[in-house]
Amino acid sequence: MSTHRYHQHFTVSWDQLQRDVRELCHRLMERDLKGIIAVTRGGLIPAALIARELNVRVIDTVCVKSYDHMDQDRLEVLKGVDHDGDGWLLVDDLVDTGKTARAVREMLPKAHFVTIYAKPEGRPLVDQYLTEVAQDCWIQFPWDMGVAYVEPLIDQNRLDGSASG
């Protein structure tokens, strides 16, 4: 993570993600879908949740690898699909700068592209999203987080030497 680019953090819990996906699905219920295409890897879990909520059984993936630090403009398509996306729901967790979104949009121009979260730079590339977040906000998804033990406050105070005794 590049620290100069992000000034805010937004931590998404599993519960919050599921609530957000369900809310997005309310807006998608009238669509007659041939299937879902998940943008790997971030779109896999939202796509699975959407598939459950909308009872969609056909799921495919597009696999795109972006190069972050050394080669920022390069994207490599590791796996595409053999159609233009007509009747399909294209799902990713987030649209950020729009680099990945632009690539998958070119591959699937007729897909209905949804993300759970959208930043201003990438927002115009998706058809629907649920929550807008600031461009300088780092989103921490639950699959990137681990549960860790936290000392009780009383013990933390003792370690700091600030407990009176």
Rg, Å, the chain Cα set: 19
Instruction: Check if 127 is active-site.
Output: no
Domain ranges of the chain: 8-160
- Known catalytic residue: 92? yes
Please report the pLDDT score of residue 159 as a whole number.
64
Which residue among the candidates 32, 92, 155, 160 is catalytic per the annotation?
92
Question: For residues 18 and 33, what is the distance between their CA atoms, to the nearest angstrom?
Answer: 21
Catalytic entry in 96, 127, 136, 144: 96
In CATH terms, is domain 8-160 a member of 3.20.20.10? no
Average pLDDT over residues 20-41: 96
| Residues 50-106 pLDDT 10s | 999 999 999 999 999 877 655 556 788 999 999 999 999 999 999 999 999 999 999
As beta bridge partners, residue 139 has 10
- 17-44 in b/e burial notation, b at 16+ Cβ within 10 A? bbebbeebbeebeeeebeebbbbbebbb
